[in-house]
Amino acid sequence: MIKKRVLPVLLAALLLFSGTCLAENMQFVDANGTTGYYVDVDSIEFSTDKVWIQPDPIPAQEPGKPDVVPQGYMAEVEIVTARVAVIKARQNRRFIYRMRFNPTQSTYQILSSVMQAYDTRTTLQTNNTPLTATGYSVSSPMHEMVDFIYEQPRK
């Protein structure tokens, strides 16, 4: 008798909370051909980290003299972590990344990733191994994502 009453309640609770855990608020950021870039604005987190800053060399004033290499230093910089989706329509793929952006050094690091079939959201591959930080340029979609993140109101 108790099983008949408890089981439906447990199933309803499981259904309700599983949708909450998987909820996302993906906002369109940019597109490049058939590839779309999105940021989950509910996942944006700001923090700080100490990093080594190595300034660019200063070109020598006289020919034949070596460039001047300024001394590097430790600095506290703002770091942004967010969930990002890259949709590749032609391949029917949705790549969801947990990414860490360092706007000061124009780098991003993929902390984890999930590859899904876009139409069914079926998970095809998961990777929880962080990758090495990679640089991005001003014309990169990563730069557009960082700009978009900084346009969002802070929580």
Domain tally for the chain? Answer: 1
Per-residue pLDDT, 56: 87
Would you say the C-alpha torsion 117, 121, 124, 129 has a positive or negative sign?
A: positive
Is position 108 within any domain? yes
Q: What is the pTM of this model?
A: 0.74
Q: Are 27 and 43 in contact (CB under 8 A)?
A: no
Neighbours of 84 (CB within 10 A): 24
- Note whether residue 68 is domain-resident: yes
Task: Please list, in sequence order, all residues whose beta carbon lies within 8 angstroms of the beta carbon of residue 25, skipping any fewer than 6 positions away.
Answer: 40, 41, 42
Residue 2, in any domain of the structure: no
Per-residue pLDDT for the chain (155 aa), expressed as one digit of tens each? 554 554 344 334 333 333 334 578 999 999 999 999 999 999 999 999 998 888 888 898 888 888 888 898 999 999 999 999 999 999 999 999 999 999 999 999 999 999 999 999 999 999 999 999 999 999 999 999 999 999 998 87
Residue 22, H or E segment: none
State which residues form the domain around 71: 24-57+64-151
